[in-house]
Amino acid sequence: MSGRFFGAAVTRVEDARLLTGTGHYVDDIELPGMLHAAFVRASFAHGRIRSIDKRDALAMPGVVAIYTMDDFADIAQGPMPPMAPHPLLKTPITYHPLSDTEVRHVGEAIAIVLADSRANAEDAAAAVILDVEYLPTVSDVALAHEANSPTAHSQHASNIAATMKAGFGDCARIFAKADHVLTEQFDIHRGGCHAMECRGVVANIDLLTDALTISTSSQSPYMVRRHLAAYLDRDENGIRVMTPDVGGGFGPKANVYAEEFAVALSTIKIRRPVKWIEDRQEHFVATTQQRGQIWSIDVAFDNNGRMRAIRGHCIHDNGAYAPYGLILPATAIASFPGPYALEALDLTVDVVLTNLVPTSPVRGACRPNVAFLLERLADRIARHLGMDRQDVRQRSFVKAEQMPYTTGLKARDGSPISYDSGDYTGALNLVLDKIAAKDFEARRKESKQRGKLRGLGIASCVEDTGIGPFEGASIRVTPAGKVIVATGASSQGQGHRTAFAQIAADALGVELEDVTVETADTAKFPLGISTIASRIAVTAGSSVQLAAHKVRAKAITFASHQLEVDEHDLELEGGAVRVKGIADMKIKLSEIARALAGSTGVPLPGNMEPDLAATAYFNSNALTFAYGANACEVEVDPETGDVRVVRYVVVHDCGKLINPLIVDGQIRGGVVHGIGNALFERMIYDEQGQPLTTTYGDYFLPMASEMPPIEIHHMETPSPRNPIGVKGAGEGGTIPAAACVISAVEDALGPNGPFIPVHPISPQQVVQWLKATR
Amino acid sequence: MTERSLTFTLNGQPREAKVDPRVHLGDFLRHSLGLTGTHIGCEHGVCGACTVIVDGSPVRSCLMLAVQIDDCTVETVESLGKPGDLSPLQQAFAANHGLQCGFCTPGMLMTLEAFLRTTPAPTEEDVRIAISGNICRCTGYQGIVQATLDTASTKANRT
């Protein structure tokens, strides 16, 4: 699969607008008569609301209405529908659009204030008086897991919402006979997504038809429509949901949120447009977070370093609700055995509720967690046996000749999971070569002369991508000869418009500028799932290709009739169907489109179906597995504990590259996210569930001054599981990055340093670890 | 609230406006004047998305009250190139994939626009420090840094 545009590093069609301030984000929407919303949010982590006094607030300037859940009783009531129901969750653990009575984390929305300006709405929100009975709070997941803990939901007897188990092989036998067994505890900390655009919603109502129109900064506009329609007991046809330009997503914007429902309910109630724009403080307390997990792992391995079996128990922090069901713990399990050919696996994940912001996937979901466990274990085994770290990996990896490789785990439909293609050993060898690992000791020495401790880290990963069921695309050629691609896949900066235009332009023989791509508007394309889990290139990209080929076939059939030439002798080029080898004998796509648009009394040739258009859905029935090997070097300042990543090299294989410029951008941004997880990003709560890091002065995101240049090398093993041979690329940078950085830090601390089973690490910890080595 | 009258220069044009004293410059530009190219990312002065140039210096428009621009010269992203006629820095951003979602981009551009006026031949480290008050969650910064270096060297070669 390659063409004029597919595979080329073309610059993005999105850029001109976004560079000139003419992008259109949700907060840029202004509607006549629009009200501005602010939420009254809980300042406490767990309590029962006895009463809400809104009299003073209602009297404040510009305030039009203040609603609580009771005020919506004539429209809808009860908790929101679960996005991903799971049989282990007997009762859904979802929010109400506004809290009913029991509040379960700081930041939960209790009331919505509508005013003529955001400032007036915020002033009034602060004047709403709550009478609250405070309840015992649990903010530490390890404590929440204990039998005598206070419960995050007062009606529950335990915080364990579900226990998931999975595995394969005979762990007991292998552990009993293994040459070596090690046990380690891992603690992976909670962070956030921190898209630079916070969330936001604008809802409007048609006063004649009651139809709702909702613009939302979301990864899942079709899920918003589906679940809102179910909640309101309406037909989906009466709800249009679209995403304007979205300023980053990184996972949490895939949820259907309480605020989206509360704004829609307010619009229905007040019969005016309502806008809510999340501010950054709200983002810290109301947008889902991720990665908090405590793992206890036993690993069995043999004398030559081959990893044979893993037994693991996880305490998974799900926060106060489970809006996305059990998707995170399920992803954790599905991320095993990574690149390793284990003979047996035995996993138990306890899904634990706490009085903290709920968790849902953040870039990589639980794949970075599991890559951290597996890669740290590989390093640990090497240290135990006194071997090179790469030798443990290479003896334990699935081999290229074993592909397709059946891991032993089962997919959700019960079918065996199999890795489709890849060369994990080759990727690791290549990255070690590119970072010049064999000369590393000379660089370590040079750093030492400058008073710095240098370390080399390595980490590999496998990433399941392209999860089903489908995305779709329609392609229509207009009578002007322009190609309109519409898809349900929403975009948050990934350059979908460019990538899809590349695919369509190749198939239809037109230029990139002839193609317009419309994304994520339920009025323009009927179905969509979500832009999550590195799935859009596979699902929507393949759909664009399939639809384009249908349109191409139709154009050729038409031209074959008109030109009286056999279809096999025709080709599409320069915006026309032409006879191969005879440049003049052609018919333009615009002419075909006009003819197929019909004229009164004129039958279509060959009784063809009208419209030069087609729709296709690619059913992605089997995952396709991307993979990568990373290596990096850090310098540690032994005086301050400061860690600098000074080199970072990625070898990545996501199958065929549609656009190398875009893929490299996805990988670089992903790596930096992982470096943030390793060294900086720490969401801290006190014992009462109060968040202590709610500004970017307290919660550190990676900045340009701390980030290294990131060098990327691609291997291109085409996926056999979709028509364009691609695998997902959105998360492959993030997944191994924290493991890679921590591996390098551990290496820098030397053979007397500790095994590091945690992230993020702090300069204080580094200094303490170094003290202990002396 | 008593509104105050302001006189200022915005993107080369003399302007007069009335503004409520509590309104910050970012909200004033976006919601009173309709210049939505300036984006609000954190409203506590750390992320840099809202950066505009006031009297030649980059400022965070979320930390400056609109009334403070009286008699000042203000430049926003709308003063740079237009689609089809991008400025050299904007072109370099596109060529180096220095943007993905585009939300931090106007603030990045204005920070770097002011920086390149005073530092026409920066090193990579200079650029990284210059944007160390601008957060980008998408790109990993590398494309932005390269775009800035390319813009500076292209300009140096021309003059």
Transcribe A691-739 into DSSP letters: BS--STTTSPPP-GGGPPPEEEEE-----TTSTT-B---SSTTTTTHHH
**Same fold across A15-22+468-619 and A293-467+621-773:** yes
CB-based contact B132 A701, cutoff 8 Å = no
A19, A31, A198: best to mutate for the B interface, most B CBs within 10 A:
A19
Tell me the residues of chain A between 257 and 316 that have a Cβ less than 8 Å away from chain B: 279-280
Fold of the A31-135+194-286 domain: Aldehyde Oxidoreductase; domain 3 (3.90.1170)
Please say whether the structural domain B88-158 has been given the CATH code 3.10.20.30.
no
Residue B159 in this model has a pLDDT that exceeds 70 = no
SS3 assignment, position A282: helix
Percent of chain A's residues with pLDDT above 70: 100
Residue B62 in this model has a pLDDT that exceeds 80 = yes
Provide the pLDDT for residue A155. 96
Question: CB count, 10 Å around CB of B150?
Answer: 18
A248 Cα to chain B: minimum distance (Å): 5
Provide, as residue numbers in chain B, all residues whose Cβ is less than 8 Å from the Cβ of A703.
Answer: 132-133, 135, 141
CB-based contact B94 A15, cutoff 8 Å = yes
Q: What is the rounded distance in angstroms from the CA atom of residue A66 to the CA atom of residue B135? A: 35
Cβ-based contacts under 8 A for chains A and B: 174
DSSP assignment of A635-691 equals: EE-TTT--EEEEEEEEEEE-BS-S-HHHHHHHHHHHHHHHHHHHHT----B-TTS-B
Provide, as residue numbers in chain B, all residues whose Cβ is less than 8 Å from the Cβ of A15.
Answer: 93-94, 99, 102
CB-based contact B97 A664, cutoff 8 Å = yes
Provide the pLDDT for residue B131. 98
**Residue A662 forms contact with B (CB below 8 Å):** yes
Provide, as residue numbers in chain A, all residues whose Cβ is less than 8 Å from the Cβ of B35.
Answer: 21
A160 Cα to chain B: minimum distance (Å): 34
Q: Which long-range contacts (CB under 8 A, 24 or more apart) does B26-32 make?
A: B26/B50, B26/B52, B26/B60, B26/B61, B26/B62, B27/B66, B28/B66, B29/B61, B29/B74, B29/B76, B30/A27, B30/A28, B32/B66
For chain B, domain boundaries: 4-77, 88-158
Provide the pLDDT for residue B1. 59
- Give the angle A216-A27-A364 at the CA atoms, nearest 5°: 50
A12, A14, A15: best to mutate for the B interface, most B CBs within 10 A:
A15
Q: What is the rounded distance in angstroms from the CA atom of residue A600 to the CA atom of residue A264? A: 44
Provide, as residue numbers in chain B, all residues whose Cβ is less than 8 Å from the Cβ of A701.
Answer: 135, 137
Q: What is the rounded distance in angstroms from the CA atom of residue A519 to the CA atom of residue A484? A: 11
Phi, psi of A465 (to 5 degrees): -130, 165
Provide the pLDDT for residue A102. 97
Provide the pLDDT for residue B157. 87
Name the residue among A21, A246, A697 with its Cβ closest to that of B101: A246
Residue B49 in this model has a pLDDT that exceeds 90 = yes
CB-based contact B131 A704, cutoff 8 Å = yes
B52, B62, B74, B97: best to mutate for the A interface, most A CBs within 10 A:
B97
pLDDT in tens, A285-319: 999 999 999 999 999 999 999 999 999 999 999 99
Question: Looking at the domain covering B4-77, what would its CATH class be?
Answer: alpha beta
pLDDT in tens, A367-406: 999 999 999 999 999 999 999 999 999 999 999 999 999 9
pLDDT in tens, A458-511: 999 999 999 999 999 999 999 999 999 999 999 999 999 999 999 999 999 999
Tell me the residues of chain A between 719 and 738 that have a Cβ less than 8 Å away from chain B: 733
User: A3 falls in which pLDDT band (50, 70, 90)?
Assistant: confident
Question: Looking at the domain covering A15-22+468-619, what would its CATH class be?
Answer: alpha beta
How far, CA to CA in Å, does A332 sit from each of A166, A347, A372, A373? 11, 10, 11, 11
**Residue A363 forms contact with B (CB below 8 Å):** no
Report the pLDDT averaged over residues A60-77.
97
The mean of the pLDDT values for chain A is 97
Fold of the A293-467+621-773 domain: Aldehyde Oxidoreductase; domain 4 (3.30.365)
CB-based contact A22 B83, cutoff 8 Å = yes
Provide the pLDDT for residue A91. 85
Torsion of CA A653, A654, A660, A662, to 10 degrees: -130
Which ranges in A386-536 belong to alpha helices (H)? 389-396, 424-434, 440-449, 496-508, 536
- Residue A764, C-beta contacts closer than 8 angstroms, at least 6 positions apart: A641
Provide the pLDDT for residue A413. 80
Element (H, E) at A236: none
Q: Which ipTM was obtained for this model?
A: 0.98
How far, CA to CA in Å, does A293 sit from each of A55, A318, A328, A352, B50? 44, 9, 11, 10, 35
Bridge partners (DSSP) of residue A470 are A619
Residue A411 in this model has a pLDDT that exceeds 90 = no
Residue A2 in this model has a pLDDT that exceeds 60 = no
Does residue A329 have a cis peptide bond before it, meaning omega lies within 30 degrees of 0? no
For chain A, domain boundaries: 15-22+468-619, 31-135+194-286, 293-467+621-773
**Cβ contact A320:A284 at 8 Å:** no
User: B2 falls in which pLDDT band (50, 70, 90)?
Assistant: confident
Residue A173 in this model has a pLDDT that exceeds 90 = yes
A20, A661, A705: best to mutate for the B interface, most B CBs within 10 A:
A20
Residue type, A531: T
Provide, as residue numbers in chain B, all residues whose Cβ is less than 8 Å from the Cβ of A490.
Answer: none
Provide, as residue numbers in chain B, all residues whose Cβ is less than 8 Å from the Cβ of A494.
Answer: 100
pLDDT in tens, A641-686: 999 999 999 999 999 999 999 999 999 999 999 999 999 999 999 9
